[in-house]
Amino acid sequence: MGKAYKVPNTLTIMKAIEYVGYRFIRSCGCRGGFCGACTTFYRVKNDYKLQVDLACQKRVEDGMYIVQLPFIPAEKPKWDLDKMKSTTDEVIRVFPEITRCLSCNVCTQACPQDIEVMRTIQALRRGDLEDAVNLTFDCISCGACSIRCPAEITHYQVFQLARRLFGKYETIPAKHLMERVKEIEEGKFDDEVSKLMDMNLEEIKELYKKREIEK
């Protein structure tokens, strides 16, 4: 962040920041690459390229200049899935800006999860919701793509809507799950379960030992 510090070269950016004496309130969440709170932009010595990675997953390098993103300035549009159709048109209706994509691919280059961000935007414009879902399943909403995008798309929100519509309407509900819910509602297991409740621990242990393990 403009001040030079010496740190052991085995540390992640996150641990290095703590090592020199900062205490995180923002820009630190899961510490394991899952939450996208620690998005960090950096340049290394003698390289003009602006790079981005997760502070908790990236090792420090010599001469690294860093700045962290404390928040992505964007409001989440509200939607009611019950009143929506599972089409890419619906996604474009909520996020018309995706039609302004310039195909510059900066988003893809920014993504610390190696998601093909531009290809996803194109998939949505092409009408392929499923492709968009599969391509972005590992998105952790870190916002790196969105901060860099010249078309001002908030990709992670677009992808969230696409995934929810797909999950709700385009995947086949599990029949065996529905049936089990019904069986439980009808009390199919009540007798057996109340017997278990009346048993003493030794009897339960016996049952436990006898149960067969599925191969």
Partner 1 sequence: MKKMEIIEGYLGYMRESIEAVEKTREKRLKETFPLMSLEEREEILKKFHPDYKEEAKRPVKVGPNKGDLMPHEVADLLEAYPLVKPKEVDLSKVDFDVDVFIIGGGGAGMTAALWANYTGVDAENILIVQKLRLGDSNSIMSQGGIQTADKPNDSPVLHYLDVMGGGHFTNDQKLARRLVLDAPMLMKWHEDLGVIYDKESDGTMVTIHGGGTCRKRMHSARDYTGLEIVRNLKDEVLNKNIPILEFTSAVELLTDEHKQVAGAVLYNMETQEYYVAKAKSTVLTTGGFGRLHIQGFQTTNHYGATADGIVMAYRVGAKLRDLDSVQYHPTGAAYPEQIVGLLVTEKVRGLGAQPVNKNGEQFVYPREPRDVEASAIIRECYERNNGIETPTGMRGVWLDSPMIEILQGEGTIAEKLPAMLRQYKRFDIDMTQDPILVFPTLHFQNGGVVIKENAETHVKGLFAAGEITGGTHGKNRLMGNSILDYSVFGRIAGISAAKYAKKAKIGKLTLDHVTRYEKMLKEAGVETDRKAPILLPEYREEKVLSRALDIF
From CA 13, how far away is CA 10, in angstroms rounded?
10
From CA 7, how far away is CA 13, in angstroms rounded?
10
- Contact between 180 and partner 1 by CB under 8 A: the answer reads yes
Of residues 103 and 174, the one with the C-beta less far from partner 1: 174
- Contact between 133 and ligand SF4 by CB under 6 A: the answer reads no
Least CB distance to ligand FES at residue 185 (A): 39
How many residues line the site for ligand SF4 (CB under 6 A)? 29
Of residues 24 and 79, the one with the C-beta less far from ligand FES: 24
- Contact between 117 and ligand SF4 by CB under 6 A: the answer reads yes
- Per DSSP, the residues of the chain read --S-----TTSBHHHHHHHTT---SSS-SSSSSSS---EEEEE-TT----EEEETTT-B--TT-EEEE------PPPP--GGG--SSHHHHHHH-GGGGG-----HHHHH-TT---HHHHHHHHHHT-HHHHHHHTTT-----HHHHH-TT---HHHHHHHHHHHIIIIISPPPHHHHHHHHHHHTTTTHHHHHHHHHS-HHHHHHHHHHPPPP-
Q: Which span (60-68, 82-90, 136-144, 178-186) binds ligand SF4, by CB under 6 A?
A: 136-144
From CA 60, how far away is CA 55, in angstroms rounded?
9
Of residues 118 and 165, the one with the C-beta less far from ligand SF4: 118
For ligand SF4, the binding residues in 39-98 under the rule CB under 6 A are: none
Which of residues 121, 135, 162, 165 is near ligand SF4 by CB under 6 A? 121
Least CB distance to ligand FES at residue 27 (A): 8
Q: Which span (51-59, 93-101, 102-110, 142-150) binds partner 1, by CB under 8 A?
A: 51-59
* Among ligand SF4, partner 1, ligand FES, none, partner that 153 touches (CB below 5 to 8 angstroms by kind): ligand SF4
Radius of gyration of the chain (CA): 24
For partner 1, the binding residues in 142-171 under the rule CB under 8 A are: 160, 163-168, 171
Q: In the complex, which residues of this chain contact ligand SF4 (CB under 6 A)?
A: 36, 101-107, 110-111, 113, 115, 117-118, 121, 139-145, 148-151, 153, 155-156
